[in-house]
Amino acid sequence: MLLVLDVPTMLLMTAAASLAMAVSLAAARPQRSKGTGLWALGLVLHAATYVLYTLRGMVPDWASIVVSNMLLAGTFAMALGAVSQFRGQAMPWARMLVPVAAMTLLFALFIDDYRARIIVAGVLAPVQLGMVLWVLWRPQPPAQLRGAWLFSVGLGLQFALLAVRGMLAALDAIPLDGLMHGSPMQSFVFMAAFVVVILSSLGFILMAKDRAEADNRYFAVHDELTGAANRRALTQTLDRDVARAVRAGEPYALMMLDIDHFKVVNDSYGHHAGDQVLRHVVAVLRERIRAQDLVGRYGGEEFMLLLPNTTLSGGAALAETLREVMEQTPCMHEGRSIAVTVSIGVCGAYLENASNWDYLIQAADQALYRAKAAGRNRVECADLPRRAYA
């Protein structure tokens, strides 16, 4: 004997689950994760949809039939917007709004034809869900695969149920006695809707959580504005690289680089232009250093370059190349060309004490000060013995 559940109870369970997941998502608010607000809004619309379903026969048909399914289409539209935001894509307004308008008009047209409404929902809703899954997985899979698979299983189940139900209705293969009529098919469909809310929401929360954790790991060692290594990463790298250089008897070079007249850029063009200049400098530096070298933001408009297995003469030659390239490569901002020059201090030596690499920083910083005092847009080298004892 097939199990037949109470329809109003299942509808209210689904509405409650949607609201609970929306509240949970709003409370968690994973940092740096886009799309969570739209997903929570979609869950609220989903809850309202099922509340209106529950009120079938107690409120006007235009509310429990037309408005409820407009809200259901809006739920899937919010899902598409949420995933698009999460993936860093532009909001697909046409693909979000057109199915909502179509669902509303067709349900108004077929307000007295339950079978036709089931067929319409079996076509439009799977199309919406298919677009959500397409955006999630194309053009390349998301990095947060655990949550993406859970999310896809939930939406895939909803896709299959609505499509199969619509097809069976079109073939007149299932009895259709109305929404509130209990049947094995109704029981299965609405119980599955409850499960879909849980699976897809947990999947989205897991994606957001994995994204936030990855961002936290990234920004723990990177400057948020430029993407260059931050001071913490520079310190960790110096600890590791200098110790290796001492063991291997290899030279180690370090540059301190300062953007000339950076305050004038901010005052003349604005702070957004200043931010763009900082990013521009990092991009130019990265294009011309080796894979084993590291560029980091030391503070403000000052940068540090770490150059393993590099002599003072090698570091000086690279510094002069960087200075020339920077002078010849202006920064473009909002159609304007901003001239950028840099002053560089270089230090390089064979260290015999791995614990006091700050000796290199102090020497490079003093050389940078001399470069700035001598007129800027120049390179100065630290005057060090071949072997440095820190």
| Per-residue pLDDT tens over the stretch 31-68 | 546 888 999 999 999 999 999 999 988 999 999 999 99
When computed from its CA atoms, the radius of gyration of the chain, rounded to whole angstroms, is 31
pLDDT at 11: 87
Q: How confident is the model at residue 9 (pLDDT cuts 50, 70, 90)?
A: confident
Q: What is the mean pLDDT of residues 201-214?
A: 89
Q: Is residue 81 predicted with pLDDT exceeding 50?
A: yes
pLDDT at 179: 63
Judge residue 60's burial from the number of C-beta atoms within 10 Å of its C-beta, 0-12 exposed, 13-18 middle, 19 or more buried.
exposed
Ranges 173-182, 212-221, 279-288, most confident: 279-288
Cα distances from 61 to residues 66, 91, 110, 191, 308, in angstroms, run 7, 33, 11, 24, 75
Note whether 274 and 263 are within 8 A (CB).
no
For the entire predicted model, the pTM comes to 0.77
pLDDT at 384: 63
Q: Is residue 390 predicted with pLDDT exceeding 70?
A: no
| Per-residue pLDDT tens over the stretch 120-131 | 999 999 999 999
Of the chain, the end-to-end C-alpha distance in Å amounts to 85
Cα distances from 199 to residues 95, 135, 153, in angstroms, run 24, 18, 7
Note whether 205 and 147 are within 8 A (CB).
yes
Region for 291 from its dihedrals, namely left if φ exceeds 0, alpha if ψ lies in -120 to 50, beta otherwise: alpha
Its sign, for the CA torsion 257, 263, 268, 273, is positive
Give dist(CA 89, CA 183) in Å, integer. 42
Give dist(CA 208, CA 203) in Å, integer. 9
Kindly report which listed range (1-10, 130-139, 313-322, 331-340) carries the lowest average pLDDT score.
1-10
Note whether 346 and 315 are within 8 A (CB).
yes
Q: What is the mean pLDDT of residues 312-341?
A: 95
Q: What is the mean pLDDT of residues 129-145?
A: 94
Give dist(CA 346, CA 316) in Å, integer. 6
Give dist(CA 283, CA 304) in Å, integer. 14
HSE (side-chain half, CA atoms, 13 Å) at 206: 17
Closest residue by Cα to residue 379 from 367, 365, 363: 367
Give dist(CA 76, CA 253) in Å, integer. 56
| Per-residue pLDDT tens over the stretch 237-285 | 999 999 999 999 999 999 999 999 999 999 999 999 999 999 999 999 9
Give dist(CA 52, CA 69) in Å, integer. 9
Q: Is residue 1 predicted with pLDDT exceeding 50?
A: no
HSE (side-chain half, CA atoms, 13 Å) at 279: 12
